[in-house]
Each structure stands twice: as C-alpha cells, then as structure tokens.
Structure 1
Amino acid sequence: MKPQPTAAILVIGDEILSGRTLDSNSNYLANELTNNGINLSEVRVIGDEAKKISETVNFLRGQYDYIFTSGGIGPTHDDITAEAIATAFNVPLEINSAAVDLLASHYPNGKADINSARLRMCRIPEGATLIQNPISKAPGFSIENVFVMAGVPSIFRAMTDSTIPQLVGGDPLLSISVRIEKGEGDIATKLSEIAKKHKEVSIGSYPFSQNGRYGTMIVARHKDKDVLNKLERKLQNLM
C-alpha cells in the first residue's frame, strides 16, 4: 500500500476569527484530500497579521508534505498573504506579467481596467507558479510545498480542483458507518476494547438524538476494505 502524504490548511482572516464569516474551505479541502489519499492532519485559523502568517507557514511547511492557505490575496489593504509568503521564503514580491494578463482577460477593457487595487492581486513571490482561477481570473500561486488560494469559497474550490490532480497521494482511506441505537455511555467500555485490538484503524464515536432517543454513530476508517468488513461485524455486535 502507498503511504499517505500529510497536509495542513492555514485559514487566514480576521472575519473568520470574529465569527462574521463561516469557514467552509477546510471542509471542502478535507474531503478532496481524503478522496485522493492525502491526510489532512491540521487546521489552523489566524488573523490578518503578516508576521504571524510568515511564522506559521514556515513552521507548517516543515511539518507536513503539503500546506494550503485560504484568504488574504484580494485587492484591499488587509489582503497581505502574498507579501507574508514572500517574507517566509525570503524572496521578492513582484508584479507577475502572466498574472496581469490573466486578470485583464476578466475585464471588458482588458489592462485598462486594472487599477492599483486590482494590481495588488498580481503580486506574486518570485519563483512561484500560478494557480488558475476560472471564476474571476485573479490567480493563486504555489511555491515549493505551499499552495496559496483565495478565501472566497467558490474560488477556493475551483483552485483546489485544479491543484489536487498535481499532487502525489497515497491509498485513499475507506470508511464504514455503523448506527447503534444505544447511548455512548452504554457502549463505551466494549468500544474501547475493540479500538485497542484494532489500533491500525481510526474509530470515531458520534452521539445523536432522534425522536427523544439517544444513539451512537460509529465511523471507522482504514485503507483495507477487508479490515473494515471484519471490524463492521464486531461493531454491529454492540447493538
């Protein structure tokens, strides 16, 4: 079996931390990475602070195979991710001519419509590769193992869809779900015994309440279908 590479996502934006904007990008990325045999191991959320962004990116890129960032590459003063990434890699931030051409194709008058604010979206660290944005054309970029993408969910998804095929993944995780019509407290001891005997399997317990009755959904994940099938029979005995 092919080992699974690891990944982390750094969600950037004061609007996320304040609760004004809901982060849906982490969820989308997690699903796409899982389907392609890449293990999303960490999610971090930080504000619009250039020094914090640079330091966090430098830490994460040394810990995981792939790093994704979301947010902070738009046209306004608080969009500072590009310059923070340039600082992290100690390279100049420059106006990228290919990025300008892409952005110009989005406007009726081409480059004549690119004012100073829009030009900020064409600032790319030296040596980076552009990530296509089929929606508004302003590109993201990648540099080494760091992929810098927009915070707008529809654009983030489009950038993710164009990036994932370029990555090397391992064997995708398979999963099973077993619904138990008992509360977690009723099955916890036996479930712990099963988990100890199957340490190679990720087993999660998720309580639910429906029509006044409590139950537990058990989700198990592993690369091998046969392992999951055998485990499923043991979990069903908890009922």
Structure 2
Amino acid sequence: MNKKIIIAIDGFSSTGKSTVAKQLAAALRYIYVDSGAMYRAVTFYALENDLIGVDFFYKDQLIKHLERIRISFKFNAELGFAEVYLNGQNIENEIRTLRVSNFVSKIAEISEVRKKLVEQQQEMGKEKGIVMDGRDIGTVVFPEAELKIFMTASAETRAKRRLEELQNKGQEVNYQEVLKNIEERDFIDTNRDDSPLAQAEDAVLFDNSNLSREEQFNLLLAICKKAIQKAL
C-alpha cells in the first residue's frame, strides 16, 4: 500500500472522532491532525485574554488578535500522539475542559477564524497520508478527500461518554451540564452560516451509539483499507 489518501472524519461533538482518528492514523502510519483542537486553542486564547465570557464576546478584538495566534502539533512519543501548542506552550490538557467546550462553537462560527485555520489544515494535507477530524473536513477543507466518514450517536450516549471522560480527568461536572453543552453545540454547529456541520454527499455515515471502541476501530479500519486499495 504505497498510495496514500486523505481520510476526512466529520461528525457531532463527543462521537469519539479524535480517539478513532488517532488509532487509524497509527495503524495506517498516517499523520493525525485534530482540527477541533485548533479551534479549542483559539478559544483558550480568547478566554485567557478576556475576549470571551458568559456575558461578553469581543469578536472584533479577537479577529485583530488572530495574527498573534500560532498553533502547532508536536508528537509525544510517550503518549503516542501529537499534542497541541499555542505560541510555544503545551495546552493539550487545558483545551479539553468544559470551560473551553462551552465557548468553542461560538469561536468556530467566526468566518475569519475558520479561514485562517482552514488554510493551515489544507497546507497540512498537501502530501496526503493524513487523517483529520472535525466538523467540515469532508465538505470544506478536503472536498476531494478519497474517504469521508461522518460519525454520529445519540446526544444521550455522547453525554455519558463525555461525562466519564471528564470525570476520569478529575473534573467536577454532572450529566445534565454535559448534555446541555452537547445539545447547544449541536445546534450552533449545524445552524451557523459559515461551513455548518453537514454530512458530505459521498461520506460514509457511521453511527457508533451501540459499538465498543474496539468494534468501532475494526469496522473503520476495514473501510479505510478498502478505500486505500481502491485508490491504488
């Protein structure tokens, strides 16, 4: 299998896109890029610089700050995946909090933010051999991707998984709080004017509501290998 392709994975929040994308990239020896982490990095920057909060959002100021925001990925051999850096600082753990989750969809609505990050993402995919997950990878970032996967699961299932993940990290959250966050993000993601979350016409719809992580990985790996074989 010398031929390399672009694998675009889109879908709703907390469907496990990042987890399985990392697994697939490792199995295929592809590069993994978590596009959602890039939006989370911008959100973290906005929060840390008091540009967004519960009752305020200085959108125009954030747009002016975009030229100061440098996002990079550095592979951590111990963890087995690339961590996110903002202006040289490792923020991998900081961006995975509910604090950031509560604002990331609002940040992702901003056309100027999307334009800046999409340009970076497209640059990363020029050499192919990449697995990228997000909300608009198959529709906007890589519309010509050889394989597009759209992941979904019920909001309740996703809330339970997300709650367990956050609690395992020592964060004090409750189910209703997490479910509310997921439902609000779903609404914003699917209704925004710029690049709303939508399944590409040629994407494989993958509902993992009743699948274990192992079952999910095995099924998706088979789909990926079939797509790579087809591209040979």
Normalization by structure 1: what TM-score? 0.30
Higher strand share: 1
Q: Which has the larger radius of gyration?
A: 1
